[in-house]
Amino acid sequence: MWRSGFFSDHLITYLPNARLEIKKKILVTGATGFVGQVLVTRLHELGYAVRAALHSPSSRFSTEDSLVVGDIDGGTSWQEALKSIECVVHLASRTHVTEEQSVDPLSAYRKINVTGTACLAKQALASGVRRFVFMSSIKVNGESTTNEPFRESSPPRPQDPYGISKLEAEHALHSVSNNMGMETVTLRPPLVYGPGVKGNLLRLLRMIDHGIPLPLASINNRRSFIGVHNLADAIVFAIEAQAAADQTYLISDGEDLSTPELIRKLSSLMGRHPGLWPCPAALLNFGATLICKREEASRLTGSLQVDSSRIRGELGWQPRHSLDQGLKAMVQWYHQMPN
């Protein structure tokens, strides 16, 4: 088992504010992405030596601390990128696509998320990498919760090609590393928010900003979130904590909100009227089904709660930033965006 050079398990609680005395060389895939940019900054703050694996050259990274690997699939060569690397943090993936264009979405997801992950893991193992941190998704567990939140013990029930590919990637990773000397840590976050956010949450910010009425006042749901800076800290714990070896953790801020509560908080921070008006959830879902938007509607009307007590208890991780702080930072970033 990999033994940390500086942090013991009882000191790991103080990791977010500590600085490493012994630098580990970390390879980060997806380093130019939403989570990747925050993570690389955090790792540098803590004294890690970071190498960014890039799809194409980026002005964010110098040639000394990055390497272009191109497309990620079963044929990607990672040999140069993995030289002297002690830990891989694999963030890069084909993410959830709202307007799917592929005629075979599952194959498209598998090519990058499953085959590409297995290819990287095999080469990492052969290169002597000690730990592999994999960013999965709560979609592995499913799309919604009812009476209880998802826990690590909850059976996987992915409902879409993205979730299926993430579960298959977890299995592929475990098959490669099983008893072969490379420890793995898997994180399954829910919706990630914060400065630089994209996708549905960015669309919601724009709708609130433009005063678009939202028929969501009657929704009574609970959804978990994770701030991008809190997630970056959790990844550092996954890199360092001895107890994390070969474990899977569900992670969230621990402050669940209903959809109307989220909209009201964002509207207040943006200085806008929330524009909420009542409409039964069943009617919303029915209308969304008619226009082939049922999946998008379910994220607004349904519940998805995550119990992150295991990572808090075993690793001592705690969110450094509250949900309100994270939402405020996201709104400030949004206001600074060019029109």
Q: Please say if 162 is a catalytic residue.
A: yes
Amino acid 184: pLDDT: 97
23 lies in some domain: yes
pLDDT for the residue numbered 2: 46
Alpha carbon distance 27, 21 (integer Å): 19
CATH of the domain at 156: 3.40.50.720
Give ∠ CA 76-234-108 in degrees, rounded to 5. Answer: 30
pLDDT for the residue 3: 42
Number of domains forming the structure of the chain: 1
Q: Which two tokens stand for residue 265?
A: 């908080």
Q: For position 192, what pLDDT does the model report?
A: 97
Would you say residue 290 lies in a domain? no
Q: Look at residue 180 in the predicted model and tell me its pLDDT.
A: 82
User: Tokens 């109307």 correspond to what residue?
Assistant: 260
Neighbouring-strand partners of residue 247: 185
Cβ within 8 Å of residue 143, ≥6 positions away: 159, 160, 163, 295, 298, 302, 304
pLDDT at 102: 73
Cβ contact 228:194 at 8 Å: yes
The closest alpha carbon to 94, from 71, 107, 113, 75, belongs to: 113
Mean pLDDT in runs of 10 for the chain (339 residues)? 40 47 84 96 95 91 86 95 97 76 87 97 96 98 95 96 97 90 96 95 95 93 97 97 96 96 97 91 72 71 96 96 97 91
Locate all alpha helices (DSSP H) within the chain, ordered by sequence: 34-45, 105-109, 116-126, 161-177, 199-209, 228-240, 259-270, 281-290, 294-301, 309-315, 323-336
- Determine the length of the chain: 339
Which of 202, 107, 188, 128 is CA-nearest to residue 152?
188
Assess contact for 243 and 312: CB atoms under 8 A: no
List the catalytic residue out of 48, 109, 162, 334: 162
Tell whether 4 is covered by a domain: no
pTM (2 decimals)?
0.91
Q: Which domain holds residue 39?
A: 9-193+226-254+305-320
Distance, in Å, from the CA atom of 130 to the CA atom of 76, rounded to the nearest integer, reads: 20
User: What pLDDT was estimated at residue 197?
Assistant: 96
* 298, part of any domain: no
The answer to whether residues 182 and 123 touch, using CB atoms and an 8 Å cutoff, is: no
d(CA 135, CA 149): 20
Is residue 234 in some structural domain?
yes
